[in-house]
Structure 1
Amino acid sequence: MTFEKIIENIDTLPPLSNAANAVRSMYASGLEIMSVPSLVRVLESDAMLMANLLKVINAPFYGLRQKVLSARQAVTLLGTHRIYMFVVKYSIDETLKADTSVYGFDTKQFNELCHLQSALMFQWYSRVNDSEVKLLSQLALIMESGKLLLANEVKKSDYIGEFRKAFNECEDIDKFEKELLGISTYRISAELFKHWNLEEHYVNTLLALDYDEEKLKEINFDLKKYRNLIDIIRTAINVKEVLSEDSILKASKKVARMGLSKGIFEETANKIKDAYFN
């Protein structure tokens, strides 16, 4: 298994679903002119998509004060930008259909992990910079897509046991993945997003997660900031630790290095942790 082989497989992947492409077209036209009735019709045209959407957004960690029962209500409460990314996430999952048990998570748990990452970004960073949180919470929701592709490759191989053992023993996920492939799965996510023509800023931010310190010095301020914010979320919630006391502490130290409030971050992370685990 090599990075080149994975890239070859990406090139053969089909396009995202009709629903995802329809919503992406609306999104590309601009949120300010996106037709809510048209968006609702797209959601209602796919029963499985709608059922999945309602199940996810009614989870306690999303913090909604009322139960969402319809597509229109979902769009009204969450906004078009978050609905757009939910649809893209569902389409990616359906296209890749990965067995994530190699990471010790079943499919439902892995999906919840991704939604927890997005929820943490949205609930925390909306208290810091409301104008940037939409983009970042969208990316947080789908940034682990590369792990789905890697899981598929591992399941097809004859060294599943070796992978699980090495993964369970590793302390640094990125280091483990780079020793395996030469790159992390965030680079694979970036290549997936290129294949599906998703937003360029998603691709660039994920690529920056693989940069060394020297290359990070060369990128612009905004990209470095987005990269560091995404790094905070993946530190707090990842396939080794989901909002553990240690992972929240490590993430909050990175928050402080950005000159942001550790208190606000830790309060938000612990609130989501309580809602998810209790």
Structure 2
Amino acid sequence: MIEEFKKRIKTLPPLPKSFHRVLQICESDSGVGELAKAIEGDPMMVAQILKTANSPLYGFNRQIKTVLQAVSLFGKNMTKSLVASSTVQGMLKVSVEPYSVSPEQFVNISNLQGAIAKAWFKRIAPEKMDDMFLCALLQDTGKILISDEVIRRDEVMYFKEDIAMSFDIGAVEMNNFGTTSVLIAADIFDHWGFEKGIVENIRHSNDPKNAPDELKQTAWALYIIRVLANQKQQLSDLNVQTALNLAAENGFNEQILKEVVEEIKEKGV
């Protein structure tokens, strides 16, 4: 099954020109006005950027009505990550019924994971914040391909039952397919030419205990973020306590993560 997923990934079409144009602008000296114009040429990007800007996750104190407003508030790096997430979801045609969530819920969970990563790494390692925000937004992408395979096999009911009975979604994926959505996501972004650091951060978060020393912090962080907010539960008492325990066991300041979670909960998420 692993080879079948790899073959399918190789057949994925290249990312659209609009994405590469946004990426080019973000990496240049161009201003946010030019970036906003590039985004405005893609209705899906516009919808995603404005929806995210008006989410309680980011706590802007006024309604954001234009792409220029949103881009000015987010900045280039965060905008680039949001555009990447929107483009990927559009390319893969989000359908995650086997995980018992709607496409909208799937996007919201990805945004919640991104918000946790951003707030957490802003405090503990600001130099890694932008990369971690992008990794957290994208790390569940492989669930789209797994969902498609479950639907193709007509095994949605059985897969849902497996998910419902297990705390570890990755273990269910591994038992059914010999791989996980996290590993599939890493392969997808490797195929699309994303930066090696992004690919490897996601890949090693599948098994952070065995991650290289230089990636252990980010691998464990992504794993902990998935514990906090996943397709089964988001920020439940059990999930939060499990995440805090994992943080303490793996060298993180437990209190900082606890404060981040409490702040996000206060925003009404």
TM-score calculated relative to the size of structure 2:
0.93
Conserved? CA contact 2:208–2:216, under 8 Å: no
Which deviates more from structure 2 when the two are superposed, residues 240-249 or residues 152-161? 152-161
**Alpha-carbon distance in structure 1 between the residues aligned to 2:268 and 2:15:** 30
1:203 corresponds, among 184, 199, 217, to 199
**Alpha-carbon distance in structure 2 between the residues aligned to 1:130 and 1:201:** 16
Q: Which runs of 5+ in 2 are unaligned?
A: none
Conserved? CA contact 2:44–2:86, under 8 Å: no
Residues 106-134 of structure 1 deviation map (CA, whole Å, 9 limit, x = unaligned): 01011000000001111122122222111
Aligned partner letter, 1:268: V
Deviation at 1:198, TM superposition (A): 0.9
Deviation at 1:264, TM superposition (A): 2.2
Conserved? CA contact 1:183–1:210, under 8 Å: no
1:143 corresponds, among 136, 139, 143, to 139
1:232 corresponds, among 218, 224, 227, to 224
Residue of structure 1 equivalent to 2:16: 17
Aligned length: 269
Residue of structure 2 equivalent to 1:7: 6
Aligned partner letter, 1:115: N
2:91 corresponds, among 89, 95, 110, to 95
Conserved? CA contact 1:40–1:72, under 8 Å: yes
Deviation at 1:38, TM superposition (A): 2.3
Conserved? CA contact 2:14–2:192, under 8 Å: yes
Residue of structure 2 equivalent to 1:175: 171
Deviation at 1:222, TM superposition (A): 2.6
Paired residue secondary structure (2:51): helix
TM-score calculated relative to the size of structure 1:
0.90
Paired residue secondary structure (1:60): coil
Aligned partner letter, 2:86: Y
RMSD after superposition? 1.7
Conserved? CA contact 1:124–1:264, under 8 Å: yes
Q: Percent identity?
A: 27
Aligned partner letter, 1:15: P
Residue of structure 2 equivalent to 1:155: 151
Q: Which runs of 5+ in 1 are unaligned?
A: none
Residues 243-266 of structure 1 deviation map (CA, whole Å, 9 limit, x = unaligned): 101111111122223433322211
**Alpha-carbon distance in structure 1 between the residues aligned to 2:190 and 2:10:** 10
* 1:124 equivalent in alignment to 2:123: no
Conserved? CA contact 1:82–1:134, under 8 Å: yes
* 1:41 equivalent in alignment to 2:37: yes
Aligned partner letter, 1:120: I
1:112 corresponds, among 99, 108, 114, to 108
Residue of structure 1 equivalent to 2:237: 245
